[in-house]
Structure 1
């Protein structure tokens, strides 16, 4: 979720969601425990982590949205800047205004793909090869807000969620002309006149033959099947009532998801039946969480602090499973 400082008052007023009954989780339920913040970032320097991609050694590559940077962070919290995208002199990014880097995906060879929104011709998908400089490989509409990005290396396709245009774009992995892969009201933002922030399709993951997308304004988690010919199937709503959902990650247990809830400073466990439970809160160190990643038994959560304006960070936690005795 990009920084929207002028909405902070609205966010504070609307960031109240009733928690589910505090019943003990059933046997076999995914658990999240031992949260610890391993890296604190500098809000004043634009180090607002928006999205995350994991390296084989468990380190993380983060997008610092306001600084237009890609940062590499070890599990011990050591941070270095890998790349900075070129500044746009006169950004006109919808909703946000500034030029910001948002989603990130990693290929098996270490190449990183990021989305960059500027409101100009620089808007689109940029590639950062290992040791190389950022290079634009696809241009997306300047009146859109390309957000999360997912990579299907088997098909050689990048998928991009556009939060303003209510669209999922497909882009050849090697670069080229984008295709409007999926467009539907379910992906659209909610108009401000109806209480929306203007941010629709937001998080995106490629999982088990489908592209999954969150819609922040509508509080939904959507599944879009990928047909054999690569086209999009009918959109399925898999969960509702997730107001302020940003990015998410699968736990490895089928369609169970951990979702970052940026307005309420929470991490939610979303079950395959659509029900959800809060598993981490602001007391654990979350500060407007933006994205989630899972590697083996470790959960990674970035906090952008876009509304709190306090302590953008990277938090790690342990992933487990409840067993009744």
Structure 2
């Protein structure tokens, strides 16, 4: 989730009053240990890591939102710029104002896809082919929305996009084309001030026959079944009380989730029963974490540092210890 300049003061005051609805640690559940920051970025240059897609070699592709770039970072912290999205004249992105590179997904052939939010006709999904070719827009999304996160279902050949302002999950063919409003409803909508900050559907993943979505304002994790005809089933609320939830990732085949709590600079373990426990904090190096990815025994957490008083956008790696009952 990008910086919301007009909301920072109110949000900071709210954080001091927030109490997480956590549950006790359960025997046999995953734990997260050995956190270490492997890469730092320059906030002044707009290098704010927003979202992540992993390569087979364990390196991470990160969208650097306000720099409009995609960077590749290996597990030792070496960085290179993969692509830069084109500058946009007079961007007018809802809530954030600026043009921003948001969600990212990787296809098996190495093609990267990025959601670009601009408030103009350039808002949509952009394709970056392997080998350094220039980004190409393949789908246009509503300019009055804030497309935030992106999930690719290659089996069905479709993207799902979570729109934080319009409270919609868009469905787009993988080859590009016209988006369809696949899922809508109160559960995906943002809340108006003073109850919320206008940020609804945020993170998105495809997992176990369903599309999962976080809602930042409503502090929820949602599951939307994909029906046999590929339409959306009834939205299910699977967890509540996840204050400032941004993105999330599954730890394995079951429904256990690691979720970033952006304003509190925390990473939470969310159990299938909906309870959660904080497993990493700002003391471990998190600075407004915006997304998370899991590969085997490694957890990747980018922090954009949008709200932190001391700016330290970074990439943190940790060890995932999968529990045994």
| Match of residue 264 from structure 1 | 264
| Superposition misfits of 4+ residues, deviation over 3 angstroms | 19-23, 321-324
| Match of residue 36 from structure 1 | 36
Structure-1-length-normalised TM-score: 0.97
Q: Any idea what the Cα deviations from partners look like across 1:11-55, whole Å, max 9, x if unmatched? A: 2111143256785x3321110000000001000010000000000
Q: Describe how 1:126-145 pairs up with structure 2 within 5 A.
A: 126-131=126-131, 132-145=133-146
Cα separation, 2, equivalents of 1:274 and 1:177: 35
Q: Any idea what the Cα deviations from partners look like across 1:217-259, whole Å, max 9, x if unmatched? A: 0000000001111110000000000121000000004000000
Cα separation, 1, equivalents of 2:265 and 2:203: 16
Query: How many equivalent pairs are there?
Result: 322
**Cα displacement (A) at 1:286:** 0.4
Cα separation, 2, equivalents of 1:313 and 1:67: 14
| Match of residue 191 from structure 2 | 190
| Match of residue 13 from structure 1 | 13
Structure-2-length-normalised TM-score: 0.97
Secondary structure (helix, strand or coil) at the match of 1:9 reads helix
Q: Describe how 1:174-323 pairs up with structure 2 within 5 A.
A: 174-192=175-193, 194-308=194-308, 310-322=311-323
Structure 1, unpaired ranges of 5+: none
Change over 3 Å in CA distance of 1:264–1:229 after alignment to 2: same
Change over 3 Å in CA distance of 1:166–1:244 after alignment to 2: same
**Cα displacement (A) at 1:321:** 3.4
Cα separation, 1, equivalents of 2:22 and 2:55: 37
Change over 3 Å in CA distance of 1:33–1:136 after alignment to 2: same
Q: Any idea what the Cα deviations from partners look like across 1:246-286, whole Å, max 9, x if unmatched? A: 00000004000000000101000000000000000000000
Does the CA-based 8 Å contact 1:291-1:303 persist in structure 2? Answer: yes
Q: Describe how 1:94-133 pairs up with structure 2 within 5 A.
A: 94-131=94-131, 132-133=133-134
Q: CA RMSD for the aligned pairs?
A: 1.3
Cα separation, 2, equivalents of 1:74 and 1:26: 33
